Amino acid sequence: MKKIVFTLSVLAFGTSAFASQLVYQPINPTFGGNPMNGSILMSKAQAQNKHKEKRPEKSYADKFQESLERSIMNKLIRQITDYANGELDEDGNPIFLEDQLFSSGDYIIEVLISNPDTLTVQLTNTDTGEVTIIEVPRFG
The per-residue DSSP string of 105-125 comes to: TTEEEEEEEEETTEEEEEEEE
pTM (2 d.p.)? 0.49
Q: What is the pLDDT of residue 94?
A: 58
Q: How far apart are CA 67 and CA 77, in angstroms?
A: 15
Is residue 39 in some structural domain? Answer: no
Range of the structural domain that residue 118 is part of: 62-137
Report DSSP letters for 32-89, one per residue: T--GGGHHHHHHHHHHH-------PPPPHHHHHHHHHHHHHHHHHHHHHHHHHTT-B-
Is residue 130 in some structural domain? Answer: yes
Is residue 15 in some structural domain? Answer: no
Is residue 7 in some structural domain? Answer: no
Residues lower than pLDDT 70 in the chain: 10-19, 88-89, 92-98, 114, 140
Q: How far apart are CA 124 and CA 109, in angstroms?
A: 7
Is residue 104 in some structural domain? Answer: yes
Is residue 23 in some structural domain? Answer: no
Is residue 121 in some structural domain? Answer: yes
Q: What is the pLDDT of residue 8?
A: 73
- Nearest 10 degrees: Cα torsion 26, 28, 34, 37: 140
Is residue 56 in some structural domain? Answer: no
Q: What is the pLDDT of residue 61?
A: 92
Give me the phi and psi of 99, to 5 degrees please: -60, 130
Sequence letter at residue 53:
E
- Which residues have CB under 8 Å from 107's CB, separation 6+? 123, 124, 125, 126
Q: Which of 37, 58, 139 is nearest to 95 (CA)?
A: 139
Total number of domains constituting the chain = 1
